[in-house]
DNA sequence: AAATTTGTCTATTTACATTTC
DNA sequence: GGAAATGTAAATAGACAAATT
């Protein structure tokens, strides 16, 4: 074999290592990162095998490995044994979903990207807060507090958790500053840099950004029409040294799919026998009617599941509150993480949430919200008929699979031009999955039913007359 | 030299490696951790040199190194070249300072450990909140918001920051959920696992616990009467690859010392010429009178300093609010970290804080608090005369250097027996420093001046009649 | 001031496990 | 179904730099 045989190998990436004072592995990782960010290496590209690169650059295999590892931890690459290393699908897309961090939108722009709540119920809550503040001694809610809450608060939280079919003792409940904060604290306390968590190949992007920040790697579970099988989970876990699973069983974000009971049972059994930790995100569970709610995975594998129930989508995001129900074994660690993170949650907000639940007002708000969502879903079904995937009437999201001549990203750009924000599937992509041509539509975000109607009409005309827009 | 010469080496630690399926370096680290936690290896102990251990166990030097590194990142060890590896001073003490995570205290127990605010001012704030909530449209404060805040909020924040001699443009201000949260977000976004931050050898323990959680290492700057010199900073930074400095220039926690202007200038100059990032924690700055406030380090090195001003100690911890003033270069990164952490701060709390400042009520509360603190300091000065270190009249903490027959920990235990909680210096120790025999007393925490008085009297009798107590 | 001690860091070697063909 | 391809991970080697004596 001639020495220069690698010249013939069709290498997708030929880095040039100029001499620098940096160590080789860092210089190589840096160049890889630049080439991905500049677009020289596109999402999905397979990199040359580590051995080929080592040969080509006349370096040791492990040096290449180490450089790749750096980029992998930044979420730029995903690799698997025997298959190769690929540039991540979302390496070039923006995963931060709240526009507040980006430009402020202009007048008349319709937000259907970020999930905002319908706000009609807000006044109920503000007046409720006033009642609490009026009481003598209400200043005590301005002190520090325990993430465990008071017995009354635990009682109320437990009541609410049970609506989601989550059954724990009071000592297993913690309060956090919303469900993103819950995820952040759980990841920081129960996982380490380099650990791997399995999740669906399209997933709530908040888990992606926080995992990346903490150096925790997400591994993608391929989806077929928003669904996956237990066999897929088993195969990946067998080979990838997976520490945990992140799942959204009800109204999955962004695909809207609800996980069937059979799969919940299979996952629970598998987690128990393989000592896996499941993070069950019940963010949308209580949007469903009580009759429609299935047993939670937590109820099927109580020692292996941490159940997170946000109050943002069902009561109000203004409370900045989520409930965490965890096996006793992890409570202390998570509580310490909450302390490290914020010392304590706002006792005023905890008390307010507890009383909203206890008084029945929370339940009332939940029903209100459901009705509004049903109304908007009817609009979406009729206006986008022929395009939009069907989903349950209570779902706050819609998943729009696009005609072939669009990609999620191109459609998002066109919609933006037309004055409507939606989010492309690319934003939700994990690892090296094939990204479906789709966008997510948040129907609750427009301030009024009317504005929602308007937004949907704009999207429809885009689907019907794509040639009117330039971003194709 | 005989092969077994290491038998004669007086090894402070002789691990036994039983065969397990774990990798050697992990098994070794695990044993080291157990031996520290069980007390077989005490704080301050020097471990055998890595080469000696490698010889003794017949392993490669790097394998030992790797095992040590694991423990070092957990904060259990601190090592330096040429000097050796030592068990950390705080390896066995509890650094979580809020008792809410531990046992609930019994009736009559006086809290002077955790720093709680005097609560008399609480009613002003709760009634203020009501006024905001009463306004039509107040439900908008229940939505998501930007960590940048509205122009009005930025204006108010800027006004408050300027009182602390921090001068930035409005675009350089972020809101976080309290200063612990600010630290968490800053560390998570601007530092990486394994990075080193220099700080005083006794320091606010919240930075210790969050750094440990994130795998960031604190390096100790030795203190002499609570003071250090620029030469010490220079020496350590030269050798230790320090990425940043964490400082509390005003009423340092726990030593109460205020950093003189000369040192501030030297540190600022050093940070600029060495591209170091300073985290300036102005937690207590506004407890001082306006006339007593010195130029902030931020004002002396504006491109190198992130200034964190909590509203907890000066206005109310119930707001769960801190202001972050950062060089433009880091704003985006920190904002993303806040998003990853909690999506957004509570807009209601931000608005409330802004209006408190704008209305002048915040300033009024600040004065109130100052008067109460002054009163309590007079008490402490007279009751603990002969024992307590003098400090400025506005400081919310006292630092009590103990007679020789006490250690901080033993005194803390005695005081607890006597019904008063104080915190031992050990809780604040960083790395392998010699821990002074001292405790911190939080004079603002007792609910009333009377209770404070009572607590101080109990501490005095403990100092005068130590033999009455059993924990020596 | 020179030699020794000591921890740090990068690169290398070797064994291993899974996937693909 | 076996061989080749491919990534992972532990242990090792060697050069380096600061602190100590």
Average pLDDT over residues A24-41: 91
Is the pLDDT at B472 greater than 60? The verdict is no
- CB of B79 lies under 7 Å from some atom of strand C: yes
3-state secondary structure labels for all residues of B93-152: CCCCCCHHHCCCCCCCCEECCCCCCCCCCHHHHHHHHHHHHHCCCHHHHHCCCCCCCCHH
Q: pLDDT digit string (tens) for B113-139?
A: 999 887 777 888 888 899 999 998 888
**To which H or E segment does residue B154 belong?**
helix B151-163
Which positions of chain C lie under 7 Å from any protein Cβ?
A: 5-14, 17-20
The two three-digit tokens of residue A362, written as one number = 């929370």
Distance B85 CA to C7 C1' (A): 8
- A102 Cβ under 8 Å from any chain B Cβ: no
By C-alpha distance, the chain A residue nearest B189 is: A213
Is the pLDDT at A100 greater than 70? The verdict is no
Distance B23 CA to D9 C1' (A): 10
- A318 Cβ under 8 Å from any chain B Cβ: yes
How close, in Å, is residue B366 to chain A by CA atoms?
16
Distance A305 CA to C14 C1' (A): 39
**Which residue is closest, via its CA, to the C1' of C10?**
A23
Which positions in chain B touch A348 (Cβ < 8 Å)?
A: 318
CA distance B77 to B111: 31
Which positions in chain A touch B345 (Cβ < 8 Å)?
A: 320
- Shortest-distance nucleotide from B62 CA to C1': D12
**Which residue is closest, via its CA, to the C1' of D21?**
B82
Burial B326-354 (b: 16+ CB within 10 A, else e): bbeebbebbbbbbbbbbbbbbbbbbbbbb
Residue of A177, A183, A253, A281 to mutate, interface with B, max B Cβ within 10 Å: A177
How close, in Å, is residue B468 to chain A by CA atoms?
34
Q: How far apart are the first and last CA of chain B?
A: 48
- A299 Cβ under 8 Å from any chain B Cβ: no
% of chain A with per-residue pLDDT over 70: 94
Is the pLDDT at A431 greater than 80? The verdict is yes
Q: pLDDT digit string (tens) for A216-239?
A: 989 999 898 889 999 889 888 877
Q: pLDDT digit string (tens) for B92-119?
A: 776 665 565 555 556 789 999 999 887 7
**To which H or E segment does residue A382 belong?**
helix A361-383
How close, in Å, is residue A13 to chain B by CA atoms?
28
Average pLDDT over residues A196-206: 93
Distance A267 CA to C20 C1' (A): 28
Q: At B310, is the secondary structure helix, strand, or coil?
A: strand
Report pLDDT for B194. Answer: 83
pLDDT band (50, 70, 90) for residue B397: very high
Report pLDDT for B267. Answer: 95
- CB of A238 lies under 7 Å from some atom of strand C: yes
Q: Which DSSP state fits B53?
A: H
Considering the entire predicted model, what is its pTM? 0.92
Find, among A306, A246, A265, the residue nearest to A428 by Cα: A246
- B335 Cβ under 8 Å from any chain A Cβ: yes
- Residue of A125, A143, A192 with shortest CB distance to B318: A143
Which position has the higher pLDDT, B264 or B12?
Answer: B264
Is the pLDDT at B68 greater than 70? The verdict is yes
Report pLDDT for B7. Answer: 43
Report pLDDT for A6. Answer: 41
- B177 Cβ under 8 Å from any chain A Cβ: yes
Report pLDDT for B254. Answer: 96
Q: pLDDT digit string (tens) for A136-158?
A: 888 889 888 888 999 999 999 99
- B70 Cβ under 8 Å from any chain A Cβ: no
Is the pLDDT at A423 greater than 80? The verdict is yes
Q: At A464, is the secondary structure helix, strand, or coil?
A: helix
List, as own/partner pairs, every contact residues A298-303 make where C-beta atoms lie below 8 angstroms and the sequence separation is at least 24, other chains included.
Answer: A298/A165, A298/A166, A298/A167, A298/A168, A298/A325, A299/A165, A299/A166, A299/A167, A300/A264, A300/A265, A300/A268, A300/A269, A301/A267, A301/A268, A301/A269, A301/A271, A301/A272, A302/A167, A302/A168, A302/A327, A303/A272, A303/A327, A303/A329
- Strand D contacting residues by CB (7 Å): A 47, 49-52, 61-62, 65, 68-69, 72, 79-85, 241; B 23-26, 59-63, 66, 80-83, 235, 238-239
Average pLDDT over residues A386-410: 92
Which positions in chain B touch A147 (Cβ < 8 Å)?
A: 100-101
Half-sphere exposure of A253 (CA within 13 A, CB side): 23
Q: pLDDT digit string (tens) for B203-219?
A: 999 999 999 999 898 99
Q: Hey, which of A439-443, B11-15, B465-469 has the most confident mean pLDDT?
A: A439-443
Which position has the higher pLDDT, A471 or A96?
Answer: A96
Distance A66 CA to D14 C1' (A): 19
Distance B94 CA to D21 C1' (A): 38
pLDDT band (50, 70, 90) for residue A99: low
Report pLDDT for A224. Answer: 87
Report pLDDT for B157. Answer: 98
Residue of A320, A322, A348, A361 to mutate, interface with B, max B Cβ within 10 Å: A320
- A288 Cβ under 8 Å from any chain B Cβ: no
pLDDT band (50, 70, 90) for residue A82: confident
Find, among B423, B390, B429, B206, the residue nearest to B312 by Cα: B206
Burial class of residue A468 in the structure, from the number of CB atoms within 10 Å of its CB (0-12 exposed, 13-18 middle, 19+ buried): exposed
- A38 Cβ under 8 Å from any chain B Cβ: no
Report pLDDT for A89. Answer: 86
Q: Which DSSP state fits B324?
A: E
Report pLDDT for A353. Answer: 95
Which position has the higher pLDDT, B127 or A4?
Answer: B127
- B331 Cβ under 8 Å from any chain A Cβ: no
Is the pLDDT at A271 greater than 80? The verdict is yes
Which positions in chain A touch B342 (Cβ < 8 Å)?
A: 177-178, 180-181, 184, 320, 342
pLDDT band (50, 70, 90) for residue A108: confident
- CB of B435 lies under 7 Å from some atom of strand C: no
Stretch 416-435 of chain B: residues touching chain A, C-beta under 8 Å: none
Is the pLDDT at A447 greater than 80? The verdict is yes
Is the CB of B336 less than 8 angstroms away from the CB of A209? yes
Q: pLDDT digit string (tens) for A159-187?
A: 999 999 999 999 999 999 999 999 999 99
pLDDT band (50, 70, 90) for residue A290: very high
Report pLDDT for B470. Answer: 54
- Whether A378 and A436 have beta carbons less than 8 Å apart is answered as no
Report pLDDT for B98. Answer: 58
Stretch 140-159 of chain A: residues touching chain B, C-beta under 8 Å: 140-148
Q: How many CB atoms lie within 10 A of CB B73?
A: 20
Cα A80–Cα A82–Cα A85 angle in degrees, nearest 5 = 45
The two three-digit tokens of residue B463, written as one number = 């100092």
Q: pLDDT digit string (tens) for A361-386?
A: 999 999 999 999 999 999 999 999 98
Report pLDDT for A1. Answer: 32
- Whether B287 and B251 have beta carbons less than 8 Å apart is answered as yes
Distance B63 CA to C13 C1' (A): 15
Radius of gyration of chain B from Cα atoms? 24
User: Residue A229 contacts by C-beta under 8 Å, 6 or more apart in sequence?
Assistant: A263
Is the CB of A139 less than 8 angstroms away from the CB of B133? no
- CB of B25 lies under 7 Å from some atom of strand C: no
Is the CB of B98 less than 8 angstroms away from the CB of A344? yes
CA distance B314 to B321: 11
Among the ranges given (A345-359, B80-94, B220-234, B263-277), the one the predictor scored with the smallest mean pLDDT: B80-94
- Residue of B143, B336, B341 with shortest CB distance to A119: B143
Report pLDDT for B6. Answer: 41
Average pLDDT over residues B274-297: 96
- A269 Cβ under 8 Å from any chain B Cβ: no
Is the pLDDT at B164 greater than 70? The verdict is yes
Is the pLDDT at B4 greater than 50? The verdict is no
CA distance A298 to A180: 19
Report the mean per-residue pLDDT for chain A.
89
Burial class of residue B192 in the structure, from the number of CB atoms within 10 Å of its CB (0-12 exposed, 13-18 middle, 19+ buried): middle
- Whether A145 and A347 have beta carbons less than 8 Å apart is answered as yes
Strand partners, A46: A86
Is the pLDDT at A5 greater than 50? The verdict is no
- Whether B310 and B299 have beta carbons less than 8 Å apart is answered as no
The two three-digit tokens of residue A289, written as one number = 């009617």
Is the pLDDT at B71 greater than 50? The verdict is yes
State how far Cα B431 lies from the chain centre. 14
- Position of tokens 């009705």? A371
Is the pLDDT at B434 greater than 90? The verdict is no
Is the pLDDT at A356 greater than 50? The verdict is yes
% of chain B with per-residue pLDDT over 70: 94
């Amino acid at each position: 074999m001639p020495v220069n045989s690698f010249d013939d190998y069709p290498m997708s990436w030929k880095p040039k290592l100029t001499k620098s004072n940096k160590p080789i592995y860092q210089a190589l990782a840096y160049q890889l990162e630049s080439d991905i960010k500049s677009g020289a290496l596109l999402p999905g590209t397979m990199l040359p095998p580590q051995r080929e690169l080592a040969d080509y650059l006349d370096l040791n295999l492990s040096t290449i490995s180490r450089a790749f590892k750096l980029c992998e931890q930044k979420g730029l690459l995903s690799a698997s044994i025997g298959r190769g290393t690929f540039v991540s699908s979302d390496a070039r897309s923006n995963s931060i979903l709240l526009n507040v961090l980006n430009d402020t939108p202009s007048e008349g722009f319709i937000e259907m990207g970020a999930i905002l709540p319908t706000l009609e119920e807000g006044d109920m809550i503000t007046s409720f807060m006033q009642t609490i503040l009026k009481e003598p001694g209400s200043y005590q809610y301005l002190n520090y507090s325990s993430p465990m809450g008071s017995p009354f608060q635990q009682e109320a939280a437990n009541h609410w958790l049970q609506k989601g079919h989550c059954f724990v003792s009071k000592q297993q409940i913690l309060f956090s500053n919303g469900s993103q904060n819950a995820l952040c604290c759980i990841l920081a306390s129960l996982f380490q840099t380099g650990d791997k968590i399995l999740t669906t190949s399209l997933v709530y992007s908040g888990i992606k950004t926080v995992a990346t920040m903490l150096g925790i790697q997400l591994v993608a579970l391929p989806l077929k029409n928003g669904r996956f099988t237990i066999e897929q989970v088993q195969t990946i876990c067998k080979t990838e040294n997976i520490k945990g699973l992140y799942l959204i069983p009800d109204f999955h974000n962004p695909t809207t799919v609800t996980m069937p009971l059979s799969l919940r049972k299979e996952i629970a059994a598998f987690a128990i026998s393989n000592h896996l930790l499941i993070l069950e995100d019940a963010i949308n569970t209580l949007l469903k009617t009580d009759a429609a709610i299935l047993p939670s995975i937590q109820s099927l594998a109580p020692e292996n599941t941490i159940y997170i129930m946000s109050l943002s989508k069902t009561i109000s995001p203004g409370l900045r509150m989520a409930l965490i129900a965890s096996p006793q074994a992890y409570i202390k660690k998570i509580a310490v993480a909450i302390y490290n993170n914020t010392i304590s949650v706002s006792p005023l907000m905890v008390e307010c949430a507890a009383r909203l639940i206890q008084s029945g007002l929370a339940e009332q708000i939940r029903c209100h919200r459901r009705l509004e969502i049903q109304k908007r879903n009817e609009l979406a079904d009729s206006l986008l008929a022929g395009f939009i995937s069907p989903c349950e009437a209570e779902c706050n999201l819609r998943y729009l699979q696009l005609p072939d001549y669009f990609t999620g990203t191109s459609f998002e750009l066109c919609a933006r031009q037309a004055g409507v924000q939606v989010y492309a599937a690319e934003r939700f992509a994990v690892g090296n999955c094939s990204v479906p041509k789709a966008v997510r539509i948040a129907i609750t975000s427009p301030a009024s039913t009317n504005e929602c109607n308007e937004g949907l009409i704009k999207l429809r005309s885009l689907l019907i007359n794509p040639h009117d827009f330039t971003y194709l």
